[in-house]
Structure 1
Amino acid sequence: MAREQVLTTGTNRPVQQQRTDKGWTPSRRERFLDHVAATCNVRAATEAVGLSQSSVYALRRRDPAFAAQWRMALLAGYDRLEEMLVSKAIAALEGVAVGDPDTVVCGAISIEQAIKLLDRHRSIVKGGSGHREQRSRATQAETDAMLIARIKAMRGKQERRV
């Protein structure tokens, strides 16, 4: 197997280049994102590229660009899913066959599964908690300010007791 370039990032460090046969290579990232856009299924997408779910979630946490690409792939997948549901609903009403089986990208999905995915998507779009959003870490200054405020509050309580 040919080696591919992998771009890795470190905290406040420039991007370093490595050569490896394993891990989240650019082609694996692209295949993963394509699969997510087609199916909205992260588990199936990681299986399709031969890597673990935990590794893709770790990559999303440390790579904001990949996290944005993942979100866009999900949005495209949800749009596609919604289009498929509308198409099926129209076909059922008109008695017309749905789609060309040679152009179908994703596997079978029940209407119930599709509706649940769309509900989750809508809650995310509206700012709900359809899934865990990436949390950013507090800066040193934010942490210091929070600790100082708590210490002052504790001292104030202690002085009121005396």
Structure 2
Amino acid sequence: MAKPKRAVGIPTVKLWTADKRATFLAALAELANVAAAARLAGVPETSPYKLKLIDAKFAEAWEAAIDEGYNRLELLLLRRATYGEQADGEDAPTISTTLALGLLKARQTIARRGPPKLPVPMYGEELRTELRARLATLKNDG
């Protein structure tokens, strides 16, 4: 009998070792860039987003890391505004001021909106009851 195939792209414990998590989160804190952090951790670029949805501890660590990354970006821009780009130093990320400002603006917009409201999964009788109620509403409206 053939083994059932695992859904493509779903992160696994085997893929996300402790070292890969640590590498990803450290890179995210430094770069504020998910794709770059994923590449450094050696995982597919979409995998961190999927893991974030199913692992609350990882999601919490992600938020802390991304906040740190954006704080670094703000400090970089303040240093540039005060001393010019020559004051970036060797450890500064290679990023244009325009792009850095755009990223910070996007981050602030997202922060004002708050996290997306994800539906709470329903199963069994709860799901059947909800579906029946929605179908009844559709019949009454139609």
**TM-score, length-scaled by structure 2:** 0.76
Residue of structure 1 in register with 2:4 after alignment: none
* Amino acid of the structure 2 residue aligned with 1:43: A
Alignment of 1:83 with 2:75, yes or no, is yes
Residues 142 and 91 of structure 1: CA distance in aligned 2, closer, same or farther (over 3 Å): farther
CA RMSD, Structure 1 to Structure 2 (Å): 2.6
Distance 1:27 1:118, change over 3 A: same
How far the C-alpha of 1:54 sits from its partner, in A, is 2.2
Q: What is the aligned counterpart of 2:98 among 96, 101, 112?
A: 112
Which protein has the larger Cα radius of gyration, Structure 1 or Structure 2? 1
Match of 2:59 among 62, 67, 73: 67
**Corresponding position: 1:149 with 2:141:** no
Are the structure 2 counterparts of residues 123 and 143 from structure 1 closer, same or farther at C-alpha, using a change threshold of 3 Å? farther
State how far apart, in whole Å, the 2-side matches of 1:123 and 1:156 are.
Answer: 39
From the superposition, tell whether residues 65 and 31 of structure 1 become closer, same or farther in structure 2 (CA, over 3 Å).
Answer: same
State how many pairs are aligned.
129
1:55 counterpart residue number: 47
Offset of residue 148 of structure 1 = 2.8
Q: What is the TM-score when the length of structure 1 is the normalising length?
A: 0.68
Residue in structure 1 matched with residue 23 of structure 2 by the alignment: 31
Residue matched to 1:139: 122
Structure 1 residue 134: Cα displacement: 7.7
Percent identity for Structure 1 against Structure 2 = 29
Q: Which runs of 5+ in 1 are unaligned?
A: 1-17
Q: Helix, strand or coil for the counterpart of 1:143?
A: helix
Gaps of 5+ in 2: 1-12
Hey, what's the Cα distance between the residues in 2 that align with 1:134 and 1:47?
A: 28
Equivalent residue number for residue 5 of structure 2: none
Q: Which has the higher helix share?
A: 2
